[in-house]
Structure 1
């Protein structure tokens, strides 16, 4: 039986373990963060009652990984200890995390994206003012490499935009902060929010992320599931399926969540995620797990 290493122990791990096991793939968890990892001179030491000493065989016996760890520093150590090929390796995860880089590549490939400007802090206020020209308010302001909607805000005029940037400047003053860039992006009012899954180049299902009526009445607009939205399985039309597949092809990423925004007359790629959360199997195509298992086997074989 093929052994698959996963560095997440949250929803995705629990959901994929059974279906992949039924297809001859044994899924195991490898803890990659919030622990001590010895990098030389022996096996990992313990770091308290919740982080027991690593078993000498903890990293042994795996054939392939899904997906490269989210924390790149720890990931380098885990990657070396495992010594396996990854479905979505480091390059794929880094590329997808760079929202501006993704949109630039997709736009260059002729795919529709929201109008977006990257601002690389620190900059003078005049640079922000110039960057906002040509946008209609409200605009979206988002950190370039955050996930789950963290730090994303709307600004209704220039003063509120500069106020949001002031907060970003305070955060970016800390020397340990890595990516100091943020995006100014057009706000697509009343857009429907979809997460399409692409596996090995082909559309594999989608969910629509929706807020309930109470949240909408309270003025909320971010559709992230981790912020309380509900993901409902949907059957995307051919245009949306094709756009998701073209986005994955342009980025060269085999296993990708593609976030689409649809209004009355526009369909755009908003973001991508090379570490997508897997939802319930009923929300995807019937052969979803067959194709995921096939991609894992192909990765193991080095194809």
Structure 2
């Protein structure tokens, strides 16, 4: 029996889902939840059985959810849980999962308090908005004046009354750490990539290993202990389809962030059976 799946994620994920899922009896249809208009009495959305994944814009997601009344692989609560970087790190730390040393700052806060919070870190310190993605707004600073300059900009942005999140993180910088995006599906490791900046980018002073910022993602055969670490993170957060970002140095491995709306990479970066496992999760979710 064919199952109809609504996909709200970016173009590359949608394209990569089409053929493998069609071969397994799941018809994929795109669902655009943003940058459009909705007739609220008749939103004209496709008839589907299950969604993948809940829209990133929660206001539009509420309209879509009301119109479709379908279960989601990674529903609204999963998206909210993963988006809050500070809460993710707090949950993981409380469960004994290693994370970077991090302080959350809730604005407004005066310069003296920010400076005092930064003193616990050896410079440089990473300044990170709490709920952005793709490395947006993340900065690395080596002195107090630079830190306060960055936080001044955050104060300006977060002072707007409609801004829902008025927090940011101060986080230890782990030089020379290897950066992995690990995919966990229904509690099991299904593949990983190492994200690395090209040599010329590093020579220009770039340091963020986000693909959006020019890093290259190469499929890797991850060590068992790192696989287990990513699976532990997904278990603590109770998210079925999760990208887990690991930073690995010579003597530590930590969970840096998670993403409940990760891009599906090319098939060569996944373990055998990935598409069968995803199909099973989609059918189980649709049956809920």
Given the two structures, how large is their TM-score scaled by the length of structure 1?
0.93
Counterpart position of 1:124: 110
Counterpart position of 2:46: 59
Q: Secondary structure at 1:175's aligned position in 2? A: coil
- Paired with 2:181 and 2:220, the residues of 1 have a C-alpha distance of 10
Counterpart position of 1:258: 244
Counterpart position of 1:215: 201
* Contact 1:9/1:29 (<8 A) preserved: no
- Paired with 1:295 and 1:175, the residues of 2 have a C-alpha distance of 40
* Contact 2:10/2:263 (<8 A) preserved: no
5+ residue gaps, structure 1: 45-55
CA RMSD of aligned residues (A): 0.9
* Contact 2:192/2:270 (<8 A) preserved: yes
- Paired with 1:112 and 1:132, the residues of 2 have a C-alpha distance of 20
- Paired with 2:6 and 2:196, the residues of 1 have a C-alpha distance of 32
In the alignment, which of 59, 69, 81 is matched to residue 83 of structure 1? 69
Cα displacement (A) at 1:8: 2.4
* TM-superposition CA deviations, 1:179-218 (whole Å, max 9, x none): 1100000000011100000000000000011100000101
Counterpart position of 1:17: 18
Cα displacement (A) at 1:38: 2.0
- Paired with 1:8 and 1:269, the residues of 2 have a C-alpha distance of 24
Count matched residues.
287
Q: Secondary structure at 2:133's aligned position in 1? A: coil
Counterpart position of 1:26: 27
* TM-superposition CA deviations, 1:203-239 (whole Å, max 9, x none): 0000011100000101100011111111100010011
- Paired with 2:250 and 2:9, the residues of 1 have a C-alpha distance of 37
CA change 1:86–1:225 in 2 (3 A) is same
Cα displacement (A) at 1:59: 2.9
1:1-303 equivalent positions in 2, closer than 5 A: 1-40=2-41, 43-44=42-43, 56=44, 58-60=45-47, 62-302=48-288
- Paired with 1:28 and 1:113, the residues of 2 have a C-alpha distance of 38
Cα displacement (A) at 1:161: 0.8
* Contact 2:85/2:130 (<8 A) preserved: yes
- Paired with 2:77 and 2:5, the residues of 1 have a C-alpha distance of 19
Q: Secondary structure at 2:108's aligned position in 1? A: coil
* Contact 2:177/2:247 (<8 A) preserved: yes
- Paired with 2:40 and 2:174, the residues of 1 have a C-alpha distance of 47
- Paired with 2:209 and 2:275, the residues of 1 have a C-alpha distance of 26
Given the two structures, how large is their TM-score scaled by the length of structure 2?
0.98
5+ residue gaps, structure 2: none
Cα displacement (A) at 1:176: 2.4
* Contact 1:195/1:259 (<8 A) preserved: yes
Q: Secondary structure at 1:19's aligned position in 2? A: helix
- Paired with 1:87 and 1:101, the residues of 2 have a C-alpha distance of 21
* Contact 1:59/1:81 (<8 A) preserved: no
